[in-house]
Structure 1
Amino acid sequence: MRVMLGLSTAILFAGAIMLAQSVVAPVVFALFAIALVWPVQGWAQQRMPKVAALLVTMVVALVALVGLALLVAWAFGRVGQSVVANAATLQALYAQKMAWLEAQGIPAAGALAGQFDARWMVRVAQGVLAQLQGMLSFILLTLVYVMLGLLEVDVAQRQMLRLGPGVPAALLRAAQRTAQKLRTYMMVRTFMSVITGLAVWAFAAAMGLDLAAEWGAIALVLNYIPFIGPLVATLFPTIFAVLQFGTWEVAVTVFAVLQIIQFLGGSYIEPRLTGARLAVSPFMVLVSVFVGSFLWGIPGAFIGTPVLIAVLTVCEAFPASRWVADLMSGREDAPPRADPE
């Protein structure tokens, strides 16, 4: 009964946050942003009035956000222009390969060929554009929440301390540890995204693949979404390699090398940089990405792993739920225990 009650509660909670995405998602992203930029706010508050410190923090956050947005717009815009310019060639090449598959006795090839045309690519581009336009209002609302939240962090901390040393104090310590882990996660993720983007750009340029800088920028941006992002960043240049070189052999080479780059960064280097500080099972990371994308789309895929880190950190802070953090850490030895104080 207890297990069934927990599963039912989880399903109802997931349905509720899916329906309330327009309200809940900006709050979740605002809390995530506050955890990231609070050190800047705290440093600035020691040297200037609180309102001035808030302005400095928001300028820093906006510069980073606008820079990333411009990079995304430039890279995807250039790729979109190339798709439109080469739509007829891409469709003809695709039809040629489908005809070859038909000759080999694969009956599904004809049906697939009918689904790939210039109009389909235009619809995809229009869908992506609509998603980007919808994200603008989402980002503005999130920034409002961030500004208001930064002004109340100190107040909320003092109020929780006044409630006593019990659950409120434990939640406060969990929140502080969560913020530290999220900053570590984003610093490592940003570092690896830059390294991955540079590696993809260098390989694409060495192969003579068109839009090499754009592929590097796309790999940099999509690397913030675990598993799904690197896969998509690999498929795009592979498809264009087929268009440019006209052979599957080159496309397979491009796909294989890009997969190696993504694997070395995401599965070998990054775990060694984070170490035991972010002990999370890779299986649970993948689940969090897919569940997040199912609930909230692209924003959910991005925020899924940070939410998982926050949930496990809170579970680790209480003895009754610590087994959840141990179980989902993916480590044979238990992760470091919460401080008793």
Structure 2
Amino acid sequence: MGITQNFGIVVLSFIIGLICCVQGQLTQNFYSSTCPKAEQIVQDYVSKHIPNAPSLAAALIRMHFHDCFVRGCDASVLLNTTSSTGNQTEKFAPPNLSLRGFGFIDGVKSLLEAECPGVVSCADTLALVARDSIVTTGGPFWNVPTGRRDGLISNGTEALTNIPAPSNNLSALQTRFSSKGLDLQDLVLLSGAHTIGVSHCSSFTTRLYNFSGVLGNQDPSLDSEYATNLKSRKCLSLNDTTTLVEMDPGSVRTFDLSYYTLLLKRRGLFQSDAALTTSSNTASIINQLLQGGLQNFYAEFAKSMEKMGRVEVLTGSAGEIRRNCAIVNS
């Protein structure tokens, strides 16, 4: 074997080892030696408080989703705007103004800091809280490998350009998901989280009153009976910014397949929901989920959630472990 061939094998082995190392930096039970009670502390807090405010489960998984789509899952969505940053942070960008649950995250983090100061990241805290909140309300469990570190940068304009919008068509959704390493199946499955929670009318009233920018136009892809009900009982005008509407009517607190059933009846609340039925590929995924039953949906949803939770994470010596999730360490 020649020197060149030997060198090639050494380089290949190094690259393979490097890839394995990078992929392995998030691990199950990352805090087993540095803060062994960490995950139990999160679970206990969630189990105590979410039953009294079950609607927070939807809010917290949405927060996790919005965090991961901007700079990866680095808790940048939790940062406040300060005079030192010189810019508006993600938290105050339009897509995130309706986020809630920040105080809940702070409550968990304070307990973690009391147990193990400076050890457990806000990014891991958010990821664990999102999972445990869904499980507490009877939804699916998914693995949350830990070891994320917290980002130092949060820019509101990046939230506008990265977070999928309720008005997006399939092409726009696919572009935003693929930029994070997520495919069409992930898109359909992660959208399934709309089986719980509510939305403000302002996220979809253009479908009812001003579709395609023409005042009085109604989105023809929306079931007419459903649209009439929304206009007469919920969102009474184009400019309604306060009324809340269930994303999965009749099943708002149950993590189930009814969201997909409604999609096929043209009763998805957002344009981004309806977009999932405009492609034979995504429609096929929906039908497979409905045919596979609840347990199959749970299993597939869990895979996509774990995949999303690994998007562009900071590990090793990157970023920091914030003491206060709302501000970077001084």
TM interval, shorter chain, is under 0.3
Q: TM-score, normalised by structure 2?
A: 0.28
Q: TM-score, normalised by structure 1?
A: 0.27
- Higher radius of gyration, 1 or 2: 1
Structure with greater helix share of residues: 1
